[in-house]
């Protein structure tokens, strides 16, 4: 499911890399009139600690899989998932130029000459078009999965980013494709390639 996202705020000049461990946050705010604004998702420290930077230098691309869920708070029953959006970004390091390529599922592609510039790009906050329709109590849950890719996973991810998997999905359905992805990701976990899952939730709010 594609996410409709837009950069929120100006990007900090890439003169130094963001500090701190990898993290993700989702915030909710209102305008001057009290109307609810779209939620803002921000990741930080995407390459902190060096494990994913080392994977890039070893020739393994790194995938950043984002998901934002809108959940309705229910007092007695489990909270209800109202809707969700997902988007991805893939980072590759060119071994000849030592420059980074950042490819987003929205179709954008950017090039960076330094790790600091790449980290600043990954840390730019995004406003996500995922708003509640009712008047009850809600909250958001943002998650980020960072993982190194094998060559087969990279090939599948590149075809997905280009839209080549659309006809296959409509013909075969999601079940077989999901099982295939699950097997490949299990093999990646067993291979010892780095993988990290992060999650954060917003405060409760009413529209």
* Annotated domain spans of the chain: 5-164+194-201
Q: Which two tokens stand for residue 60?
A: 């393994």
Tell me the percentage of the chain whose pLDDT exceeds 70.
68
**pLDDT by residue (tens digit) across 7-43?**
554 343 444 445 567 899 999 999 999 999 999 999 9
Q: Mean pLDDT check: name the lowest of 10-24, 96-110, 125-139, 166-180.
A: 166-180
Nearest to 3 by CA among 44, 46, 48, 64: 64
DSSP states of 71-82: EE--SSSPPEEE
Strand segments, DSSP code E, in 129-186 are 138-148
Question: Does residue 110 sit in helix, strand or coil?
Answer: strand
Average pLDDT rounded to a whole number, residues 117-134: 92
Q: Rounded to two decimals, what is the model's pTM?
A: 0.73
């Amino acid at each position: 499911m594609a996410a409709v996202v837009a950069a929120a705020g100006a990007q900090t000049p890439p003169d130094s890399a963001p500090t701190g461990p990898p993290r993700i946050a989702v915030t909710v705010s209102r305008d001057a009139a009290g109307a609810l604004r779209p939620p803002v998702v921000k990741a930080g420290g995407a390459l902190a600690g060096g494990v994913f930077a080392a994977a890039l230098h070893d020739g393994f691309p790194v995938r950043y899989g984002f998901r934002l869920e809108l959940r309705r708070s229910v007092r007695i029953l489990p909270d209800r998932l109202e809707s969700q959006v997902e988007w991805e970004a893939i980072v590759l390091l060119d071994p000849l130029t030592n420059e980074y390529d950042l490819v987003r599922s929205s179709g954008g592609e950017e090039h960076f000459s330094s790790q600091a510039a790449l980290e600043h790009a990954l840390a730019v906050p995004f406003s996500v078009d995922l708003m509640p329709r009712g008047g009850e109590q809600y909250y958001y849950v943002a998650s980020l999965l960072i993982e190194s890719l094998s060559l087969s996973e990279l090939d599948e991810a590149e075809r997905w980013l280009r839209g080549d998997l659309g006809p296959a999905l409509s013909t075969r359905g999601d079940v077989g494709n999901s099982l295939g992805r699950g097997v490949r990701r299990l093999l990646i976990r067993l291979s010892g390639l780095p993988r990290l899952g992060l999650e954060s939730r917003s405060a409760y709010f009413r529209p």
